Amino acid sequence: MSRRKDVRSVVPLQLVAAIVAVSSFAFTAANPLPQGVIHAGVVFGLFIALGEILRVTLPGGRQAAPLAAAGSLAFALLPEINGVQLPGVAFAVTVVTLASIIGSLPRVFVGRGLHLDEVSQRVLMTATAAALIRPWLELTTNSNVQLIAMVVAGALAGLLEIALAAATRANEARVPFSVALVDEFRAMIGITTAVTATGVLMALAAGRMNYWALPVFAVPMLLTQFSFRRYASIEATYLQTIRALSKVTEVGGYTETGHARRVSRLASRIGSEMGMTERELTDLEYAALMHDIGQLAWPEPFPGGATSLIAPVHQRRIAELGAQVVRQSGALDSVAQIVERQADAYRPQRGLPDATLPLASRIIRVANAYDDAVGASLDMERMHYALDRLSGGTDRDYDPAVVDALGRIVDRRLEESYS
């Protein structure tokens, strides 16, 4: 079922890209190319294919091939090389498309599949950059004007790529486009800046340094790529550690096995259902993993570890103690705030909702109560019973919007388990 959804969502983007690519192939095949042009295409194509192999994982789990992207942009912007004038948009698109597919082949062979949406984005990015720059290259030979035109064309093409990636993700992950755009922009702006600068430099320098421009200006890009890799790896280790340490309450018998992880998974799902950005989701996940840390200061575990069943004053004390521990780290203040308010009622006075209560805290409260009732069980009756009880509590304790979102998630899960 999820497969069909993916295919449906990316079809328009891939369709447009395919039309652009095929018409470029046709146009290129119909016109004879001079030797020097073919030579340039092969060299740049090899560079792009190689860059496609040297991929990097960005923080947040996104994949990118910055060297391939920079090479593609450079080839789209390139007016001439080795004294040979390059023919234009169609040829650039042809070379970039073929090279990207060839560069992805090793991954296909090891069974990781072809990222068609990523290739499509690059095809459209190349076409845009090439189409934007051509008029300027014919208009002027002033290198400063060309430089500015290239930077503008490259930046616009880069922004287009970000927007396309956001559209793809909005469809796949069922998040609003605006949220996906913010996420994508935050995650990609650094690497896109570096790619644009490198692509423009390669295109400019190729007039003078010929093909030496490619390896020389790949060095800064590799440094950037290296720093991203290190960052992504520490990010992953961080999450892994918090996950592991969230087990301390279970190991000590304070909570049931897997409670923290289930709450965090459920909270993340509710969060993305309610349109939270990635940054907010990360904080939510950390807070959910550590929401019971405060119990450690308690002399004895509570029966069954079910904090939703103890007196509100104790719940709040645990939340405060937990927040204190989290705040101690000095780096997770927003997480500490979420943990601190996880036990606060949605409508403290049985009237208006508390406007200062963070959405993440409301989500954790609901997810925690749900898991206390259901746990790892897959019993349908229990799930419905838990949902009913939560709905009954929306006049005071729980945010009705969060309970609704949870209801939709539970329904979907039941549907999936029956189909």
Partner 1 sequence: MRDFPLRTRVFITAVIVAGLLGVVSCVLHVWHGPDVFTHVCEIVALALLVFASETFSAALARSVATREGVSISVTMPIAMASVLILGPWGAPLVTAMVALEPRPTPWFKRFFNGGMNVLATFGAAWVYVWLHALLSHEPVAPFPGAVEFDPVTVLIPMLAATLVHETINGILMVTVLALAERVSPWRVWFGTMAESALPLFIYSIFGLMLAVVWSTISPLASVLVLAPLMVARWVFTMFSARQEAYESTIRSLIQAVETKDAYTRGHSERVSRASVLIGRSAGMREDRVSSLRYAGMLHDVGKLGVPTRILQKSGKLTDEEFDAIKMHPTRGREITKDLEFLGEAVEGILLHHERMDGRGYPNGLQGDEIPEFARILSVADAFDSMTTTRSYRGARSIEEALEELRRCKDTQFDANFVEALVAAVTREGWDVVDTTDQVTPSHGSPAMGSDDDDPTASTQLGLGLATPVDTAALDAFLTDVLSDSGNQTAKDSGGAS
Q: List contacts with partner 1 (CB under 8 A).
A: 143-144, 147-148, 151, 190-191, 193-194, 196-198, 200-201, 204-205, 208-209, 216-217, 219-221, 223-224, 226-228, 230-231, 234-235, 237-238, 240-245, 247-249, 251-254, 293, 296-301, 317, 321, 324-326, 328-332
In the complex, the smallest distance separating the C-beta of residue 151 from partner 1, rounded to whole angstroms, is 8
In terms of C-beta density within 10 A (0-12 exposed, 13-18 middle, 19 or more buried), how is residue 64 classed? buried
In the complex, the smallest distance separating the C-beta of residue 212 from partner 1, rounded to whole angstroms, is 8
Sorted by sequence, the CB contacts under 8 Å of residue 40 that are 6+ apart come out as 78, 81, 82, 84, 86
In the complex, the smallest distance separating the C-beta of residue 165 from partner 1, rounded to whole angstroms, is 18
Q: What count of other Cβ atoms lies within 10 Å of the Cβ of residue 366? A: 28
In the complex, the smallest distance separating the C-beta of residue 168 from partner 1, rounded to whole angstroms, is 24
Nearer to partner 1, 235 or 404 (CB): 235
Query: CA-CA distance, 60 to 278, in Å (whole number)?
Result: 8
Q: What count of other Cβ atoms lies within 10 Å of the Cβ of residue 131? A: 16
In the complex, the smallest distance separating the C-beta of residue 223 from partner 1, rounded to whole angstroms, is 5
Nearer to partner 1, 66 or 375 (CB): 66
In the complex, the smallest distance separating the C-beta of residue 399 from partner 1, rounded to whole angstroms, is 28
Nearer to partner 1, 178 or 227 (CB): 227
Q: Collapse the DSSP code of 84 into the 3-class scheme (helix H, G, I; strand E, B; otherwise coil) and give the result.
A: strand
Nearer to partner 1, 41 or 154 (CB): 154
DSSP state of 168: H
Q: Collapse the DSSP code of 66 into the 3-class scheme (helix H, G, I; strand E, B; otherwise coil) and give the result.
A: helix
Nearer to partner 1, 199 or 393 (CB): 199
> How many CA atoms within 13 Å lie on the side-chain side of 179?
18
Structural tokens at position 361: 């805290």
In the complex, the smallest distance separating the C-beta of residue 152 from partner 1, rounded to whole angstroms, is 13
Q: Decide if 346 contacts 396 (C-beta within 8 A).
A: yes
Q: Collapse the DSSP code of 56 into the 3-class scheme (helix H, G, I; strand E, B; otherwise coil) and give the result.
A: strand
In the complex, the smallest distance separating the C-beta of residue 17 from partner 1, rounded to whole angstroms, is 27
Query: CA-CA distance, 187 to 209, in Å (whole number)?
Result: 33
Nearer to partner 1, 301 or 353 (CB): 301
Nearer to partner 1, 24 or 255 (CB): 255
Query: CA-CA distance, 408 to 137, in Å (whole number)?
Result: 55
DSSP3 helix / strand / coil % (the chain, rounded to 5): 75, 0, 20
Nearer to partner 1, 62 or 243 (CB): 243
